[in-house]
A and B are shown apart, each in its own frame.
Chain A
Amino acid sequence: MKLGYFPGCSLHSTAKEFDLSLKAVAGPLDVELEEIHDWSCCGSSSAHATDHLLSIALAARNLSLAEQQGLSQVMAPCAACFSRLATARHEMAHDEEQAELVRPMLARPFKNAVEVQNVVALLQGLAGRIKAKATPLTGLKVACYYGCLLVRPPEVAQFDDPEDPTSMEQVVAATGATAVRWSRRLDCCGAGFSLSRVGSVVRLGRAILEDAKASGAQAVVVACPMCHSNLDLRQSAMEARRASLGLPILFLTQLVGLALKLDPASLGLERHFVSAVGVMRALAAPAPQQLPATRG
């Protein structure tokens, strides 16, 4: 299977391990990823907050590049990128006035024919293959955390049940691990306020992780670089003057990689602030050499 690949800025920087683990599992799962040449910003951080037209045009540019490259599907692992690309596709299809403004800005023909996919949908579709190739992660209990952008707004994301999704749990089941039942799977992690309102992010993240922990999870599985950094980077602040959480935050691709017995280092498992050693030990897998916590 060949897929267009839109890494976005996170996967080249803060979420390098998402990129590493995705590429690592792609091979064994027979997925060929073709990066979009000359891709640019998806419009997620500043553009969509300041200039709506620009935010659509930026995302549409990337879709038009994919079209030019002959791709029929583009996969954006970052939930924010996925959301921006899907929004552009949706608006270009449903808002003719807007589309008229955007088209001349693209400087190339655009049929809006490229489908936008996220990594969870991809892995959900491959669950059978994962299960067949996996050494089951028996005994490992994880909490699937969706955050906000993967399934919402439903008319844009067009993916899973926006109030009670189950796709991540299906992937987890294919790896042989157990997904716990908990309530805060869709809560806000504070997203873009990571730097500007640390207090809020810590408070929100703590509520999420305390619930995951109380539900018996040994790790939290995510599919969004923003969620990841908020829950991982800020975890020590959440623990200040409280019970320790000690919950490693794994990307879904990393969990799949572990089930496929890939080298933990190739999955970037050592790149987290909260060490995944406990998880590795629970699985009796060799722990990766702990590197100093510096991020790309």
Chain B
Amino acid sequence: MSRIGVLVCHCGENIGRTVDCASVARALGDLPGVAHAADYKYMCSDPGQLLVKQAIAEKKLDGVVVAACSPRMHEKTFRRACASAGMNAFLCEMANIREHCSWIHESRGDATEKAIALARAIVEKVKRNQPLSPIRIPIERRALVIGGGIAGIQAALDIAEGGREVVLVEKEPSIGGHMSQLSETFPTLDCSQCILTPRMVEAYQHPGIKLLAYSEVESVSGYIGNFEVKVRRKARSVDETRCNGCGECQAACPNKKIPSEFEQGLGKRSAIYVPFPQAVPNIPVIDRAHCALFRGRAKGLKKDACSKCKEACGRQAVDFDQQDTFTTVKVGAVVVATGYQLYSVGKQQPSDKLKGYGEYGYGTIPDVIDGLQFERLASASGPTGGKILRPSDGKEPKKIVFLQCIGSRDPAKGIEYCSKVCCMYVAKHTMLYRHKVHDGKAYVFYMDVRAAGKGYEEFARRAVEEEGAIYLRGRVSKLERTGNAIKVHGFDTLSGRPMVIDADMVVLATAMRPQPGIEALAQKLSVSCDGHGFINEAHPKLRPVETNTAGVFVAGACQAPRDIPDSVAMASGAASKVLGLFSNEELERDPTVAVVDETGCAGCFHCERVCPYGAVERKEIKDRKGVLLKVVATVNKGVCQGCGTCQATCPSKNVELQGFTDEQIFAAISAL
């Protein structure tokens, strides 16, 4: 005969209001095999847990049922309490009489009856529970960081400083991300390159960090502690081991009129190029779509149309025949830090949900630029050498109108959220403009100024009070091209007047969106995205840098719009999570996994086909002489997520989930 203890919790009023907990305890106490039953106001509290432990010791219990909230909430708590009283943790289970009962019913009588039935079912299950022990899996103590913006760089450095190896994968030819394009940064106006470049170099030279630039994640398999990641190393057409970054090839390339991505189209680059002078690694790449030689080859020309760069290179580093290669890395954890892109106001949008701004000419008016373009104009290393000049005619604009919330907070354009950083960088832009064009006038159309952050409000006020920016609260209905100027038709809601400003230039603070391709990457990693494509964190408040897939973490603007301080804080948070994981040699996992009875398995492999996680493998059974007897299914304990699909599928009932066997489940159902 079993000796089960049943402990019924009131959860303050949460359960006690609708369920008569004392009656539940009494009814359960009368069941055969129940040696102890009691109720208490807060079972999860210290005294409550003490009651559980005491009952185990005094009543010599061999099983515990806690009738309380959801096991998702407190199963761990009570199993730990039982274990500390010397009982196998898996002999303790919870009956959910809160979410499944008291919260959703009104009648006290009915709810009490249902609570009794639920607890009774779990008692029958626990009678059939077997002691289990956690599964131990060795951990590959190396991390993969995807994306080499400030978030990825910070995470990589922190993990490497913590003594663990890092593989940093960046899809562009250089790391640095958007921060490398910024001029000066709010709220302190320190030069972005000056604070970023040393970190880029540090990451590159760190013995613990292996940088795979111009590379992308091809596929991911495995599970926490044991991921296997295949990385595509895109062909640079330049041998990294030979190139010394002298730049002769760029000078020799005749094809120098290609709009530079780094300069946001405001500057030009050659077909063989380094995106910017401080690039890390400082190794050029040939843009094959624009290179004369590759275009010739694509057209089927027999003779190479150009090979100026190869001729100019003193180290024979240019290699036109380089192909994409693949490397596989084994890692125990992954940090996703793929950052953002800016929403485009153009007519063509990447999804039906998004709409462009027809009222602003769908971005066809030259001198209507976006924030990153303004950063390049203001940057000392930018296409104008740090002079604010309009793209159309190179003249200095005397009046600039900045428009906030472009795309953001505009459900009609498909983006409801606030992009968070633009209020601040617009304030910064007005200051940078005033510092460079002393008689320039900056107007800002805004909805609200959101400057919540340390020193942020003070910074935004400075733009108005000391730098003379004119803030107008309202939206702009139309941008109209008239001669050399842009007529900005807006409405000042504070004075209640329509406004028309003849601007020389207009800067749009466009919304931050996740990087293109994020959804495909998320799928490879089995993490989820929100409706906009930002990576979902495991819990918005309590687990902000974890994802729903164990071992995959998130940092920076790929999770939501983030500024640099936020991105760096998240990155350090993710890194410390990774280091915490890596502080163990082995990983403990719940033993709720499927186990195949190899003697009975007929080798039909239905389970292999239905398993959503690919956890079922094939195993050969041989006799002593090595003769193959049969092939059976076996479950990889590291991969199995305990969903039970195989158990439901097996025609001969030879695979069962530990802790959820057919016998246990049927006994519970019969007791309802």
A interface residues (Cβ-Cβ under 8 A, vs B): 154, 161-164, 183-184
Whether B347 lies near A183 (C-beta < 8 A) is no
Provide the residues of chain B in CB contact with A183, threshold 8 Å.
478, 480-482, 487
**Is B416 an interface position by the 8 A CB rule?**
no
Give residues of chain B (142-170) contacting chain A, Cβ–Cβ below 8 Å: none
User: Are A164's CB and B362's CB within 8 A?
Assistant: yes
Within the complex, the shortest CB–CB distance from B347 to chain A, in Å, comes to 7
Instruction: Provide 10 A-B residue pairs closer than 8 Å at the C-beta atoms, listed in order of the A residue.
Output: A154-B412, A162-B358, A163-B358, A164-B347, A164-B358, A164-B359, A164-B361, A183-B481, A183-B487, A184-B480
Which chain A residue shows the least CB distance to B478?
Answer: A183
Chain A residues near B358 (CB, 8 Å)? 161-164
Distance between A182 CB and nearest chain B CB, rounded to angstroms = 9
Q: What A residues does B487 contact at CB under 8 A?
A: 183
Which residues in B have their C-beta under 8 angstroms from that of A184? 480
Measured between beta carbons, the chain A residues less than 8 angstroms from B482 are: 183
Minimal Cβ-Cβ distance residue in B for A165: B358
Give complex CA distance A164, B487 in Å: 17
Contact yes or no, A163 B357, CB < 8 A: yes
- The chain B residue sitting closest to A181, CB to CB, is B481
Chain B residues near A (Cβ < 8 Å): 347, 357-359, 361-362, 412, 478, 480-482, 487
Secondary structure of the B contact surface, majority rule: mixed
Contacts of A164 in B (CB 8 A): 347, 358-359, 361-362
Q: Are A163 and B480 in contact (CB under 8 A)?
A: no
- Other than the given A161-B358, A183-B481, A183-B487, 5 more pairs (CB < 8 A) read A154-B412, A164-B347, A164-B361, A164-B362, A183-B480
Which residue of chain B lies nearest to A184 when distances are taken between CB atoms in the complex? Answer: B480
- In angstroms, Cα B413 to Cα A162, docked, is 12
Query: What are the nearest 4 A-B pairs in CB distance?
Result: A163-B358, A164-B358, A183-B480, A163-B359
**Cβ contacts under 8 Å, B347 to chain A:** 164
CB proximity of B414 to chain A, nearest CB, Å? 13
Smallest CB-CB separation from A163: which chain B residue?
Answer: B358
A164 to B481, CA, bound (A): 15
Per DSSP, chain A at the interface is loop
Instruction: List the A side residues contacting B357 at CB < 8 Å.
Output: 163
Query: How far is B399's CA from A47's CA once the two chains are assembled, in angstroms?
Result: 45
- Across the interface, which residues of A come within 8 angstroms of B361, CB to CB? 164
* Most interface-central of A161, A163, A183 (chain B CB within 10 A): A163
Q: Max chain B CB contacts within 10 Å: which of A154, A183, A184?
A: A183
Nearest Cβ on chain A to B487's Cβ, whole angstroms: 8
CA distance A163 to B487 in the complex (A): 17
Which residue of chain B has the shortest Cβ distance to A161 in the bound complex? B358
Contacts of B362 in A (CB 8 A): 164
Nearest B residue to A187 via CB reads B478
A164 to B360, CA, bound (A): 9
Q: What's the Cα separation between A252 and B361 when bound, in Å?
A: 24
Bound-state CA distance A154–B412 (Å) is: 10
CB distance from B366 to the nearest CB of A (A): 15
Shortest beta-carbon distance from A166 to chain B in Å:
10
**How near does chain B come to A197, taking the closest CB pair, in angstroms?**
15
Cα-based distance from A7 to B412 in the complex (angstroms): 33
Query: Which B residues are CB-close (under 8 A) to A163?
Result: 357-359
Which residue of chain A has its CB nearest to the CB of B360? A163
Shortest distance from the beta carbon of B479 to any chain A beta carbon, whole Å:
9
Q: Smallest CB–CB gap between B533 and chain A, Å?
A: 24
Of all chain A residues, the one with the shortest Cβ separation from B482 is A183
> For the complex, what is the distance from the CA of A228 to the CA of B480, rounded to whole Å?
23
CA distance A163 to B345 in the complex (A): 12
Closest CB-CB distance, A289 to chain B, in whole Å? 40
Min distance, Cβ A75 to any Cβ of chain B, angstroms: 26
A183 to B486, CA, bound (A): 11
Whole-angstrom distance between the alpha carbons of A154 and B357 in the complex?
A: 14
B483 to chain A, nearest CB (A): 10
A154 contact set on B, CB distance < 8 A: 412
Specify the chain A residue showing the minimal Cβ separation from B357: A163
List chain B residues, Cβ under 8 A from A161: 358
On chain B, the residues within 8 Å of A162 by CB distance are 358
By a CB distance below 8 angstroms, the chain A residues around B481 are 183
Residues of A within 8 A of B478 (CB): 183
Chain A residue at minimal CB-CB distance from B364: A164
A163 to B481, CA, bound (A): 15
Bound-state CA distance A162–B481 (Å) is 19
| Complex Cα gap A130–B295 (Å) | 45
A62 to B482 CA separation, bound complex (whole angstroms) = 44
In the assembled complex, how far is the CB of residue A180 from the closest CB belonging to chain B, in whole angstroms?
A: 14
**How far is it, in angstroms, between the C-alpha of A162 and the C-alpha of B412 when the chains are bound?**
11
**What is the bound-complex CA distance between A93 and B113, given in angstroms?**
46
| Residue of chain A at shortest CB distance from B483 | A214
**A112 CB, min distance to chain B CBs, angstroms:** 25
How far does the Cβ of A158 sit from chain B's closest Cβ, in whole Å? 14
Please name all residues of chain A whose beta carbon is closer than 8 Å to the beta carbon of B480 when the two chains form the complex: 183-184
Write the nearest CB–CB distance from A212 to chain B, whole angstroms: 13
Specify which chain A residues have a CB less than 8 angstroms from the CB of B412 in the assembled complex: 154
Q: Bound state CA distance, A162 and B359, in angstroms? A: 9
Chain A residues with CB under 8 Å of B359's CB are 163-164
Shortest A193–chain B CB gap in Å is 15
A162–B358 Cα gap in the complex (Å)?
8
For B481, the closest partner residue in chain A by CB is: A183
Bound Cα distance from A162 to B478, whole angstroms: 13
CA distance A184 to B358 in the complex (A): 13
- Nearest Cβ on chain B to A186's Cβ, whole angstroms: 8
Q: How far is the CB of B212 from chain A (nearest CB, A)?
A: 44
In the complex, A161 Cα to B413 Cα: how many Å? 13
Bound-state CA distance A51–B357 (Å) is 34
Least CB distance, B297 to chain A, in whole angstroms: 41
- Give the docked Cα–Cα distance between A162 and B480 (Å): 16
Give the Cβ gap from B549 to chain A, nearest Cβ, in Å: 39
Q: Which residue of B lies closest to A183 (CB)?
A: B480
In the complex, how many angstroms separate the beta carbon of A238 from the nearest chain B beta carbon?
18
In the assembled complex, the Cα of A161 lies from the Cα of B362 at a distance in Å of: 12
Assembly CA distance A161 to B356 (angstroms): 10
Q: How far is the CA of A221 from the CA of B358 in the complex (A)?
A: 21
B639 to chain A minimum Cβ distance, whole angstroms, is 48
CB distance from B489 to the nearest CB of A (A): 9
**Smallest CB-CB separation from B489: which chain A residue?**
A187
Give the docked Cα–Cα distance between A154 and B355 (Å). 12
B664, chain A: closest CB distance, angstroms: 49
A162 to B347, CA, bound (A): 12
B429 CB to nearest A CB, Å: 26
- Tell me the complex Cα distance, A161–B358, Å: 8
**Whole-angstrom distance between the alpha carbons of A50 and B482 in the complex?**
39
CB proximity of A204 to chain B, nearest CB, Å:
11
Residue in chain B with minimal CB distance to A182: B480
Closest chain-A Cβ to B276's Cβ sits at a distance in Å of 36
- How far, in angstroms, from A246 to B397 measured CA to CA in the complex? 36
Least CB distance, B15 to chain A, in whole angstroms: 39
In the bound assembly, the distance between CA atoms of A163 and B359 in angstroms comes to 5
**Nearest CB in chain A: distance from B231 CB, A:** 43
Q: How far is the CA of A169 from the CA of B196 in the complex (A)?
A: 51
Bound CA–CA A164/B362 (angstroms): 9
User: Which chain B residue lies CB-closest to A162?
Assistant: B358
Q: How far is the CB of B450 from chain A (nearest CB, A)?
A: 26
Question: From residue B239, how far is it (CB to closest CB) to chain A in Å?
Answer: 49
**Distance in Å: Cβ of B353 to nearest Cβ of chain A:** 15
